[in-house]
Structure 1
Amino acid sequence: MATKVKKHKLPRVKLHPATLKHAKKGHPWVTEDSYTKEFPRKQNLLIGKNPKGDEKLFLLHDPTHKKVKARIWEIGTELPESPNGFLRSFNHRLEESFLKRVSAREKYQRDNFYLCFAEADGIPGLMIQKFGNVALIQIYSDFWFFFKNDIRRIVKAHCASHFPEVDKFIFQQRKTSDAVNFENLEKKLTEITIQEFGINYHLRFDYRYDIGIYSDMSAIRKKLTNEFRNAKSVLNLYSYTGAFSLFALSKGATDVHSVDLSKDYITWLEKNIELNPQLNSSHHESKITSVEKALKSYADEGKKFDLIICDPPSFSSDGRKSQSALKSYDKLIPMIESCLSDEGKAVVFLNTHHILRKKFNERIEQLASKSGMRVAKALRMEEDCVTLSGFPEGDYLKGLLLSRK
């Protein structure tokens, strides 16, 4: 009698040796190569084979992504072999992620924090942010779209258990093209007010890519508390909706300037100031102009600042010029130095996974040294936004504190 061959429930695929090598070091992405072109496009869940061992890789397939064709869920010899098995694993991981935040929420001192930070929490391609009573579910991989109803059910259940104040749930599907789709799952919701470190912020959930505050920057703001307390004059470049500006006012700064090319963002910033009567609005000035023009104007006036914050978009159009943020520092660093007071400090950021921290640090150190400055401290995401060892792309938000030599 012929022996029955056990049928695999999920399709098996071959993986490039380099993918297997990086996976063993903790990298959770399977990027496009000759092997991924053979993946069955219509299958959401795959099992990657290691020809040199019994270990297998459970893959979340994303054929529509330009670069990341799959994300690694688990490596082992005994893996889920069905969507239901995967969802049980997802449910367990998400609860673990929520419980981390339950135990730390008092330390955060804010209404806005991540309940799930994608790859760092073992849930690649999916982020969940809490904004007061709202859970914003952000999909970075189309894979998760096919499990949207399951995500909603599981997130609602864990919020009911651990964050009962959350009663609104919104999906945000984010594309590499920067296109965004918001989907309200409950009653229509477009605007709320939240607090971060005792400061009120107006948020909008509509057509915008950004909603009004970056929670991955929150812990860094707190880490810079001493620098803000010691600064009476603060310049916030690429100010967006003004979180650093309002933080400066709350720490006692009496001369705060915010610069952004967007009239909409400056209007939003000024609305945020209005939401905080405890802050002295007369100590703040807005400028709707390019950062380079503003810095040149301040230098011509002889204006000096104790602290300058510079957080450019990863690829910006500042007036008529378009350039990468790192390249823009070639001009910006010497201009920033010319506007610093004798004991002044500057904080410069880069927000992209395309340029790794080492390259950013080396370039900024070179530019700072030429301008008579040095790196005093490195800044990275913390608290609810931890980074994953072996996954440098996850360390996308990089900062350096500069001081005079």
Structure 2
Amino acid sequence: MQKKLQSKPASAKLFQKGYPLVEMEAVANPGVLKEEGEIFTLTDSKGAFLGTGYYGKQNKGIGWILTFKKGESIDQPFFDKKMMEAADYRSSMLKSEDTTAFRLFNGEGDGIGGLTIDYFEGYCLINWYSKGIYAFKDQVLAALQKAIRPKGIYQKKRFDEKGQYIEEDDFVAGEEAPYPLLVKENGEKFAVYLNEGAMVGVFLDQRDVRKAIRDAYSKDKTVLNMFSYTGAFSVFAALGGASKTVSVDVANRSLPKTIEQFSINGIDHEAQEIIVEDVFKYFKYAAKKEKIYDLVILDPPSFAKSKKHTFSAAKDYKNLLKDTISLTARNGVIVASTNASNVSDEKFKGFIDQAFKESNAKYSILENYKLPKDFRTSPQYKQGNYLKVYFIKVTAK
């Protein structure tokens, strides 16, 4: 029997408009929910139907609405339909020979919050964001097999009692992927590892930004890539004709991983610079040495902690930009990026403006990017459209 959850009056209008995330403070009786994965019916204070969803603890939420249609069952045909619709929406990408790594299913944007599926050269990687959605593992796997028949399926459980990633063997079904698995993005190659911890080696949401860097911003430029991870931006800059790339990341793994990404694309990694160091320390070093770059890529995690620094995009991005402006040539370009869902587009543009004013510098915004098309979002859930990237020309300093 489905649990009956009652919305507080102030939140009912949001749900009526299609808001999919059920937050603790939005409901009057959260105590009726006992076990993650339970299906509930959400009503307003007068008992009128608002939606049907599942109980699953994720960030601020306690569940997701799966359907706003009264009488629609959450059963195997429901999951089959959602997965088929997601595959149809990306049918051109599934046929592409130029790009073979993309987001196949994007949570609430495709109608099932708490679940994402990435596609890598015929293999699929499922991300489960709560115990609640993981309770539907069999239905999701069956729907995925039916929709696209992947060569193999992997998973990442991004939850435990504290909401952290669970480290375990991630292979689920089918055949195991090569190690590494080589995928293509706009004709270039990336090495990914589907069974090697929480990260696989490339962030798919930056595909359009990497293409722009390669095609329009790198030719004969010196490029600094901060928080470089496995060097994906540096690879595309080098392929775009950069005179030199410098990649900086604190993680020890960034060195061999970046060398690998350069090498599989036929780039001499020894002609590039790969630095394993705290980015904040590098800023100080570069300023002291009066280093100047034509293109600086700034894509920090929304939250990062090193031995001496704690970084929060919501609090510290402006100061990070000020440090970046000092290292950027006049008429040079800064690629300012954040994936922090708690930083609105308006707030982010405010950081940019404040940073330039406080640096006594001037700028113009050349272009900006949001999530690519495969990262489908819900217009009613603006937090899901988290990516904000601005190409900023330093016009005077």
Q: Is the pair's TM-score, using the shorter chain for normalization, greater than 0.5?
A: yes
Looking at structure 2, the residues matched to 180 and 360 of structure 1 have their Cα atoms a distance apart, in angstroms, of 34
**C-alpha distance in 1 between matches for 2:16 and 2:257:** 45
Equivalences for 1:209-224 in 2 at 5 Å?
209-224=198-213
Of 271, 274, 277, 2:260 maps to: 271
Q: Secondary structure at the match of 2:76?
A: helix
Q: 2-side partners of 1:214 and 1:174: how far apart? A: 16
Q: CA deviation at 1:281?
A: 3.0
Determine which of 22, 28, 38 is the counterpart of 1:30: 22
User: In the alignment, residue 342 of structure 1 is paired with which amino acid?
Assistant: R
- Counterpart contact for 2:294–2:332, Cα < 8 Å: yes
Find the partner of 1:58 among 52, 57, 60. 52
| Residue in structure 1 matched with residue 183 of structure 2 by the alignment | 194
Identify if the C-alpha distance between structure 1 residues 114 and 392 changes in structure 2 by more than 3 Å, giving closer, same or farther.
Answer: same
* 2:158–2:166 contact (8 Å) kept in structure 1: yes
Q: Answer yes or no: is the 8 Å Cα contact 1:254–1:283 preserved in 2.
A: no
Q: Residue 7 of structure 2 corresponds to which residue in structure 1?
A: 15
Other structure's SS at 1:58 match: strand
Aligned equivalents of 2:346 and 2:168: distance in 1?
34
* Aligned counterpart, 2:285: 297
Matches within 5 A, 1:135-284: 135-160=124-149, 166-175=150-159, 176-186=163-173, 187-189=175-177, 191-230=180-219, 232-277=221-266, 279-284=267-272
**Whole-Å Cα distance in 1 between the matches of residues 10 and 42 of structure 2?**
13
Tell me the alpha carbon deviations over residues 317-356 of structure 1, each in whole angstroms, 9 at most, x when there is no partner. Answer: 2441112134333432222112112210101112222333
Matching of residues 343-354 of structure 1 within 5 Å:
343-354=331-342
* 1:19-58 residue CA offsets vs partner (Å, 9 max, x unmatched): 3222233321001126252233136111111345743311
Query: For residues 31 and 131 of structure 1, do their structure 2 counterparts lie closer, same or farther at Cα, with a shift above 3 Å needed?
Result: same
Of 115, 123, 131, the residue aligned with 2:120 is 131
RMSD: 2.3
Unaligned runs of at least 5 residues, structure 1: 1-8, 161-165
Whichever residue aligns with residue 86 of structure 1, its letter is D
Change (3 A) 1:195 1:177: same
Secondary structure of the structure 2 residue equivalent to 1:151: helix
Residue by residue over 1:61-100, the C-alpha shift from the partner in whole angstroms, topping out at 9 and shown as x without a partner, is: 11x44521110111133332xxxx5321221111011011
Distance (Å, rounded) in 2 between the aligned partners of 1:271 and 1:207: 15
SS of match in other structure, 1:30: strand
2-side partners of 1:36 and 1:273: how far apart?
Answer: 54
**Identical amino acids, percent of aligned pairs:** 24
CA distance, structure 2, for counterparts of residue 106 and residue 365 of structure 1: 42
SS in 2 for 1:348: strand
Is the Cα–Cα contact under 8 Å of residues 326 and 350 in structure 1 kept in the other structure? no
Distance (whole Å) between structure 1 residues aligned to residue 212 and residue 265 of structure 2: 22
Residue pairs, 1:36-75, within 5 angstroms: 36-42=29-35, 44-52=38-46, 54-62=48-56, 64-65=57-58, 67-75=60-68
1:104-161: CA deviations, max 9, x gaps?
A: 456793211011111111121111100112100111132221121221122112113x
Kept after mapping to 1: 8 A contact 2:2/2:38: no
* Distance in 1 separating the partners of 2:118 and 2:151: 13
Query: 2:246–2:273: 8 Å Cα contact kept in structure 1?
Result: yes
Alpha-carbon spacing, 1:107–1:205, altered in 2? closer, same or farther (3 Å): closer
2: CA distance, partners of 1:259 / 1:72: 41
Change (3 A) 1:99 1:66: closer
Q: Which runs of 5+ in 2 are unaligned?
A: none
**Distance between the aligned counterparts of 2:391 and 2:341, measured in 1?**
20
Partner AA of 1:169 in structure 2:
I
Counterpart for residue 394 of structure 2: 404
- Cα 1:347–1:66 change in 2 (3 A) is closer
Aligned to 2:303: 315
| Residues 262-271 or 287-296, more deviating | 287-296
Contact 1:108–1:383 (CA under 8 A) maintained in structure 2: no
For 1:322 and 1:180, locate their aligned partners in 2 and report how far apart those are by CA, in whole Å.
24
Structure 1 residue 181: Cα displacement? 4.5
Residue 385 (str. 1) matches residue 375 (str. 2): yes
- The alpha carbon displacement at 1:368 in A equals 2.5
Q: Report the TM-score when normalising by structure 2.
A: 0.89
**8 Å contact kept, 1:201–1:272:** yes
User: Aligned with 2:380: secondary structure?
Assistant: coil
Q: How far, CA to CA, are the matches of 1:25 and 1:37 in structure 2?
A: 21
Q: 1:249–1:230: structure 2 CA closer, same or farther, 3 Å change rule? A: closer
168-177 vs 184-193, greater mean Cα deviation: 184-193
Counterpart of 2:110?
121
Give the whole-Å Cα distance in 2 for the aligned partners of 1:355 and 1:342.
28
